[in-house]
Amino acid sequence: MTIHPNGKHSIAIGKNPERSREHNRRVVLDIVRQHEMLGRAHIAKLTQLTPQAVANIVDELVGEGLMMELGRRRSGRGQPPIQFAVNPDGGFTIGVEIAADHIVTVALDLSGRLRESRVVALRDPTPDHVLSIFASELAAVRTSIGSKLLGIGVVMPGPFEIEGMTSVGPTTLPGWGGRDAAQVLGDACGHAVIVENDATAAAVAERLFGAGLSISNFCMVYFGVGLGLGIIQDGAPYRGAFGNAGEIGHVTVVPKGKKCPSCGQLGCLEGYVSTYALKEELAGAGITEMEFADLEQLHAQNHPVIVEWVEDAATYLGPMVAMLENILDPQTLIFGGALPDAIIDDVLAHLAPLPTSVASRRQRDLPRVMRGKTGQLTAALGAAALPLFDMVTPKLELSLQTPAAAPA
Ligand SMILES: [Zn+2]
C-alpha cells in the first residue's frame, strides 16, 4: 500500500526565512511524499521556500537517510534537475490495534508502504497478558524489518477515563481504568508510544491511505468490537477536549432498551449495531467462536441471523447518519473496520432511503455513505500513521498537539 500523490491535498507552505527549521523539514518531506519525486527548484516553488533553504533541507534529509537522490530526469530544455524522493528504507513506524478480542500489528515504511502485518487472537484481555503479547509482536516486527524505528502508535477502544464506564464490557478492555496506557505500553516495549482511540486512528488511516484521500471533511463509522466514530475536519482529526469525541456507540437509540454491558445505560447503539452485537445474536442461535472468515462465509450463505442483524443495524444507523450530517455537515460518511466488506456493503445498501438531512442535496460529488478501503487493518494503519505523519505531515502535526517546533 502506498500513499498516492494527490493534487487535491492542501499544500502546507514553508516559513521563510528559516524561522522554524523543523516545520520546514516536514513541509519538504510531505511535498516530496505527495509527488513521489521532485527536483529542488520544484520543491522551492511548491513550498515557497527559498532555493537556498530547500537545498540545505534536502542535503540534511538525504544525509540523515530520510530522503534519497534518484538521478536526473528529462524535463524540457537544459540540464534536467536531480530528482529526490522519500527514502522508504529511511525508517519505519509500527501501529498496533489492541481490540477486545485480537491484536493487529503493522509496519509502515517512510513512504507509507505497508511492510508487515500480523493478527493474533486475544483470548485473555487483561493488561498483563496484553502487554506480553504486545511486547513479543513488536519484537518480531522490529527484527523482521531491521531499519530504524521512528515511532509506535497504539490504538485501543475508547472511551478513556470515564467514571462508571471503566472498561468492564465486552467491547472494552478490562483492567486499564486509571492506568496511563501510553506509559505502561512504553515500558513494556522500551520505546515511546502514542495512544489513540481506535475510531480516530481509523479515520486517519482512511484519510491517508484509503477512501478519504481527497476528502477533508468526513466521518468514519468504525466497527471495532463496539462502534465508534472518527471525525476528520479540515483534513485533521477532531478529538474533543478529552479525546472522546465521536463515542456514538453509547448514544441511546432504544429508550428502555437492553442494558449496555459497557456503560450500564439502556438501549445504547452498540448494543444493536456492533461486531459484538452480531456475535451475540449468533451465539443465541448456537453459533460461537466466530472469526472474520466465518462471518464472511455465513453472510455469503445468507444466514438468517446475519440477514436479520443487517436489517436491524441499518434501521438504527439510518437516523444516526442523518443526525451526524445535521450536526457535522461532512462531505460523506465512511464505514469500515473489523467486519467483512460484504457485510458492510450490505448494511450500506439497507440504509436506503436515508432520512432527509442537510446532506440531502441533489448535486453531490460523493455519496452520503461509502465503505472504507483499508479493511480490517484500518485502525492499526492509522496507529502506524500517527508517528509517521507526526514526522512528515505539517497539517496533522498541528492536530496531534506536539510541542511547537523550536526555532532553528
Ligand atoms: Zn453504553
- Region 343-360 average pLDDT: 97
pLDDT score of 392 more than 60:
no
pLDDT of residue 172: 65
> How far apart are the CA of 250 and the centre of ligand 1, in A?
4
Where do the domains of the chain lie?
Answer: 2-86, 91-408
Q: Distance (Å, rounded) from C-alpha 269 to C-alpha 272?
A: 6
Residue 204 in grid coordinates: 486517519
> Kindly report the CA angle at 184 between 97 and 248, in degrees rounded to 5?
45
Ligand 1 (ion): residues with CB under 5 Å are: 250, 260, 262-263, 265, 268
CATH code of the region 91-408: 3.30.420.40
Q: What is the pTM of this model?
A: 0.77
> How far apart are the CA of 277 and the centre of ligand 1, in A?
12
- Region 91-111 average pLDDT: 89
When the pLDDT of each residue in the chain is averaged and rounded to a whole number, the result is 84
Q: Distance (Å, rounded) from C-alpha 56 to C-alpha 111?
A: 21
pLDDT of residue 13: 56
Q: Does 2-86 carry CATH code 3.40.50.2300?
A: no
DSSP letters spanning 298-326: HHHTT-HHHHHHHHHHHHHHHHHHHHHHH
> How far apart are the CA of 247 and the centre of ligand 1, in A?
9
Q: Distance (Å, rounded) from C-alpha 374 to C-alpha 382?
A: 10
Closest to 127 (Cα-Cα) out of 86, 177, 198, 91: 177
More confident residue, 317 or 126: 317
